[in-house]
A and B are shown apart, each in its own frame.
Chain A
Amino acid sequence: MEILINFISAILLVLGVFLGISGAIGLFRFPDFYTRMHAAGVTDTLCTACIIGGLVLQAGFTLITVKLIFILLFTWYSSPAAGHALIKAAHKTGLRPLLRKDSEQEEKSS
């Protein structure tokens, strides 16, 4: 049982790290600010969830687990708010996004 839990925890940690590195690579590969936000979104959500999940499995049922779950909860509640504020500010101050050609009309009419 111990070995199984350790194994699952290790898999979750590795998965989280992989997601984090993908997000960091995406931060460099994507062409403009608005698309980069999505790359950062990958690392904010599932990467955090995987790493915290891996640590929870190692901690067992203690107050440490409660704290870890609170960290996850705060991250999942605050990162959308920060992302929304960021993209709204960028849009309001006139940073133009790259768009598909046929969607330019939608942007203008809205």
Chain B
Amino acid sequence: MNLVLFAATVAVLVIMALALVRAFVGPGVYDRILAVNMFGTKTVLFIALYGFLTDRPEFLDIALVYTLINFIGVIAVLNFVKDTIEKDQPTAEPSTEEEL
């Protein structure tokens, strides 16, 4: 069982790494915020899994707080960004008018 937990923990770490890559690459502010938001939710899962892996369920309290802080943080950053970006300023991929 510990093996599965360990594998899951490592896999969640990989997902977090992928989200971070998107946060660094991401063309535009909103892609980055999206990636950081996903990174945060995966961090919660990682903390919970790590707590089970090392038999220290107290970690769950941290995970619980992290869920809320992640949400508030995203909203706060978004509020800041929304005020900063001018409407006509190109935010991300500027010419995406083509059809899919």
Judged by CB atoms under 8 Å, the answer to whether A and B touch is yes
A-side residues, CB < 8 A to B, are 6, 9-10, 13-14, 16-17, 20-21, 23-25, 27-28, 31-33, 36-37, 40, 43-44, 47-48, 51-52, 54-55, 58-59, 64, 67-68, 70-71, 74-75, 78-79, 81-82, 85-86, 89-90, 92-101, 104
Structural contact, B82 and A24, CB atoms closer than 8 A: no
Q: A21-B11, A82-B74 are in contact. Are A10 and B49 (CB under 8 A)?
A: no
CA distance in complex: A23, B35 (Å): 11
Tell me the minimal C-beta distance from B49 to chain A in angstroms: 7
Given contacts A32-B93, A33-B30, A55-B48, contact A94 B67 (CB under 8 A): no
B28 touches A95 (CB 8 A): yes
In contact, B98 and A98 (Cβ under 8 angstroms): yes
> What is the chain B residue whose CB lies nearest that of A44?
B41
Nearest chain B CB to A32 CB, angstrom units: 6
Report which of B15, B81, B91 forms a contact with A23, defined as CB distance below 8 A: B15
Cβ contacts under 8 Å, A21 to chain B: 11, 14-15, 18
Q: How many A-B residue pairs have CB under 8 A?
A: 159
CB <8 Å contact, B87 and A94: yes
**CB within 8 Å for A93 and B100 given contacts A43-B41, A55-B49:** no
Q: Which residues of B contact A25 (CB under 8 A)?
A: 18
- Other than the given A33-B28, A59-B57, A96-B97, 15 more pairs (CB < 8 A) read A6-B1, A25-B18, A31-B100, A44-B38, A48-B44, A55-B49, A59-B52, A64-B60, A74-B71, A82-B71, A82-B74, A86-B34, A89-B82, A94-B88, A98-B100
Chain A residues, CB < 8 A from B34 = 33, 36-37, 40, 86
Minimal beta-carbon separation of A54 from chain B (angstroms): 8
User: CB-CB < 8 A to B99: which residues of A?
Assistant: 98-101, 104
> Can you sample 10 A-B contacts with CB below 8 Å?
A14-B4, A16-B45, A32-B96, A33-B34, A36-B31, A36-B34, A79-B37, A89-B81, A89-B82, A94-B87
